């Protein structure tokens, strides 16, 4: 009997991991320049944390959480996103009492019981940032500009930045009633799900993917027109700062996003080319100035984003993975195998990656495998090489060979690996 993986959950194998490392290290590199520090929070939190922060009438909370019961009535949930857990950690550790401005980033798996398809999984990986203690709008603009910089660094150029503002509590209350009034006479045109949300959470109707709902909201009132006072100043300040930076953006008054904790600035970065289809949102985020307080903390403005790493890897499909150069060590015979063990250890101690083929196969089969692995060099040691304290170094791309003394090994191999190109793909 063979076990299948859990639906929507994937293995990442060593031949794919190089691209993950490169993406993750590019993310760390870029956000470190902006002085974000890494936070690691648990994969499990109390269910109530997500219900309170993400919102009871959101898809994530209504249908997508992996939740299980523990004894004594405790209910735990696999984190569907990172913002709620980060805010909880910020409060648990009383970070606000030590620093007025906090910049955190995280990388890791998230869990949502969605219908899996290309770019949508039940276990997926996000990289995200959260800033606490800055009301903006300069930090909002800086964050968007950082995201554009990041996408360019990882080779994703076809990306559009969509922004909107949903104002503060009062603006949203005004907008909710305007939207409900607009939608009520059209209720029969809406999907059943949207109709059920009409009175409880009408903003969610704007976010629906159902064609009937999309058609019904085309003429819906714009929330941007309802912004007043500080909400309007914040929005205009954001546009001014983006213009000053020269960051391109598109204003999308229909953008509301699927989580209830947002206020004022909202944004999404979408891939405009490639094979992602409907799942082309690479990154989403926004301000959530009310969340920390609603979780029992002090009034703390906050803004953040998260990006889906699987989707970025799909969007960046054309970018080749850089392989760390390595050599294959091919010993022939028992005594050569023992010498090879020590040679491999010395090479590794000098920082050189070595694949020791100690299975006792023929030279031909070891060379074939070295070629298939796209190794740069194959080091062959037989009895005569052991006797003369040398190795045969075969350059697999150039089809040349040279004898190198064991005593010269780490240095000489290091030089050769640095100068020999990898064999071409498919060679």
In the complex, what is the shortest distance from the CB of residue 87 to ligand HAM, in angstroms, rounded to a whole number?
9
In the complex, what is the shortest distance from the CB of residue 86 to ligand HAM, in angstroms, rounded to a whole number?
8
In the complex, what is the shortest distance from the CB of residue 122 to ligand HAM, in angstroms, rounded to a whole number?
7
In the complex, what is the shortest distance from the CB of residue 241 to ligand HAM, in angstroms, rounded to a whole number?
19
Closest CA to 288 of 31, 46, 52: 52
Closest CA to 165 of 134, 141, 146, 145: 141
In the complex, what is the shortest distance from the CB of residue 352 to ligand HAM, in angstroms, rounded to a whole number?
37
Residue 20 CA to residue 124 CA, distance in Å, equals 13
Going from the C-alpha of 124 to that of each of 5, 26, 243, 308, the distances in angstroms are 14, 19, 34, 7
* 306 counts as binding ligand HAM under rule CB under 6 A: yes
Close Cβ partners of 350 (under 8 Å, ≥ 6 residues apart)? 410, 411, 414
| Token pair recorded at residue 216 | 């019904």
Q: Measured from the CB atom, is 41 or 83 closer to ligand HAM? A: 83
- 132, 86 Cβ separation under 8 angstroms: no
Residues facing residue 111 across a β-bridge: 123
* 281 counts as binding ligand HAM under rule CB under 6 A: yes
In the complex, what is the shortest distance from the CB of residue 308 to ligand HAM, in angstroms, rounded to a whole number?
3
Residue 288 CA to residue 128 CA, distance in Å, equals 14
- 136, 301 Cβ separation under 8 angstroms: yes
Q: Measured from the CB atom, is 153 or 403 closer to ligand HAM? A: 153
Asked whether the bond before 270 is cis by omega within 30 degrees of 0, the reply is no
* 136 counts as binding ligand HAM under rule CB under 6 A: no
Give the DSSP per-residue string, 268-334: EEEE-SSS-GGG-EEEEEEE-TTHHHHTTS----EEEEEEEHHHHHHHTTTSPPPPPPEEEEEE-SH
Residue from 126, 165, 263, 300 that binds ligand HAM (CB under 6 A)? 126
Q: Measured from the CB atom, is 158 or 243 closer to ligand HAM? A: 158
Span from 173-181, 235-243, 245-253, 282-290 in contact with ligand HAM (CB under 6 A): 282-290
Residue from 285, 297, 325, 331 that binds ligand HAM (CB under 6 A)? 285
Q: Measured from the CB atom, is 81 or 357 closer to ligand HAM? A: 81
* 282 counts as binding ligand HAM under rule CB under 6 A: yes
Q: How many residues bind ligand HAM (CB under 6 A)?
A: 25
- 422, 376 Cβ separation under 8 angstroms: yes
With residue 174 as reference, give the H or E element that holds it.
Answer: helix 169-183
* 311 counts as binding ligand HAM under rule CB under 6 A: yes
Span from 242-250, 276-284, 360-368, 396-404 in contact with ligand HAM (CB under 6 A): 276-284
- Binders of ligand HAM among residues 339 to 378 (CB under 6 A) are none
Going from the C-alpha of 96 to that of each of 86, 88, 262, 296, 319, the distances in angstroms are 13, 12, 20, 13, 41
| Token pair recorded at residue 103 | 């910049």
Residue from 133, 167, 202, 286 that binds ligand HAM (CB under 6 A)? 286
* 121 counts as binding ligand HAM under rule CB under 6 A: yes
Closest CA to 190 of 180, 231, 258: 180
- DSSP letter assigned to residue 95: G
Other Cβ atoms within 10 Å of 223 Cβ, number: 26
Query: What mask, x for binding ligand HAM by CB under 6 A, covers residues 63 to 102?
Result: ------------------xxx-------------------
In the complex, what is the shortest distance from the CB of residue 239 to ligand HAM, in angstroms, rounded to a whole number?
20
- 389, 407 Cβ separation under 8 angstroms: yes
* 307 counts as binding ligand HAM under rule CB under 6 A: yes
Span from 122-130, 161-169, 376-384, 418-426 in contact with ligand HAM (CB under 6 A): 122-130
Span from 21-29, 168-176, 283-291, 402-410 in contact with ligand HAM (CB under 6 A): 283-291
| Token pair recorded at residue 261 | 């904790």
* 310 counts as binding ligand HAM under rule CB under 6 A: yes
In the complex, what is the shortest distance from the CB of residue 312 to ligand HAM, in angstroms, rounded to a whole number?
8
* 104 counts as binding ligand HAM under rule CB under 6 A: no
How far does CA 8 lie from the centroid of its chain? Answer: 17
* 284 counts as binding ligand HAM under rule CB under 6 A: yes
* 305 counts as binding ligand HAM under rule CB under 6 A: yes
Binding positions for ligand HAM, rule: CB under 6 A: 81-83, 112, 114, 120-121, 124, 126, 128, 130, 281-286, 288, 304-308, 310-311
């Amino acid at each position: 009997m063979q076990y299948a993986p859990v639906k929507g959950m994937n293995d990442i194998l060593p031949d794919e991991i190089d691209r993950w490392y490169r993406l993750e290290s590019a993310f760390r590199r870029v956000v470190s320049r902006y002085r974000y520090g890494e936070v690691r929070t648990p994969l499990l939190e109390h269910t109530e944390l997500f219900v309170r922060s993400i919102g009871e009438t959101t898809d994530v909370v209504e249908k997508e959480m992996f939740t299980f019961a523990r004894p004594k009535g405790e209910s735990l949930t696999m984190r569907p996103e990172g913002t709620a857990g980060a805010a909880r950690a910020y409060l648990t550790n009383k970070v606000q009492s030590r620093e007025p401005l906090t910049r955190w980033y995280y990388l890791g798996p998230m869990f949502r019981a969605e219908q899996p398809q290309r770019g949508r999984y039940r276990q997926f990986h996000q990289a995200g940032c959260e800033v606490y203690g800055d009301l903006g709008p300069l930090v909002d603009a800086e964050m968007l500009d950082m995201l554009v910089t990041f996408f360019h660094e990882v080779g994703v150029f076809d990306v559009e930045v969509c922004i909107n503002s949903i104002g503060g509590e009062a603006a949203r209350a005004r907008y909710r009633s305007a939207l409900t009034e607009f939608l009520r006479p059209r209720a029969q045109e809406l999907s059943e799900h949207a109709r059920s949300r009409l009175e409880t959470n009408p903003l969610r109707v704007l976010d629906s993917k159902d064609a009937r709902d999309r058609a019904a909201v085309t003429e819906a009132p714009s929330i941007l027109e309802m912004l007043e006072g500080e909400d309007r100043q914040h929005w205009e300040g954001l546009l001014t700062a983006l213009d000053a930076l020269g960051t391109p953006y598109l204003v999308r008054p229909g953008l509301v996003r699927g989580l209830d904790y947002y206020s004022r600035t909202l944004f999404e970065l979408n891939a405009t080319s490639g094979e992602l289809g409907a799942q082309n949102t690479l990154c989403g985020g926004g301000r959530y100035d009310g969340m920390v307080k609603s979780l029992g903390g002090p009034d703390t403005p906050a803004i953040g984003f998260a990006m889906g790493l699987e989707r970025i890897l799909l969007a960046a499909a054309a970018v080749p993975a850089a392989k760390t150069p390595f050599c294959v060590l091919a010993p022939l015979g028992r005594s050569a195998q023992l010498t090879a063990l020590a040679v491999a250890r010395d090479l590794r101690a000098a920082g050189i990656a070595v694949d020791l083929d100690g299975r006792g196969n023929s030279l031909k089969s070891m060379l074939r495998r070295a070629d298939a692995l796209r190794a740069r060099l194959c080091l062959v040691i037989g009895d005569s090489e052991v006797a003369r304290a040398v190795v045969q170094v075969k350059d697999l791309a150039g089809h040349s060979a040279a004898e190198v003394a064991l005593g010269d090994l780490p240095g000489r191999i290091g030089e050769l690996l640095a100068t020999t190109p990898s064999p071409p793909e498919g060679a």
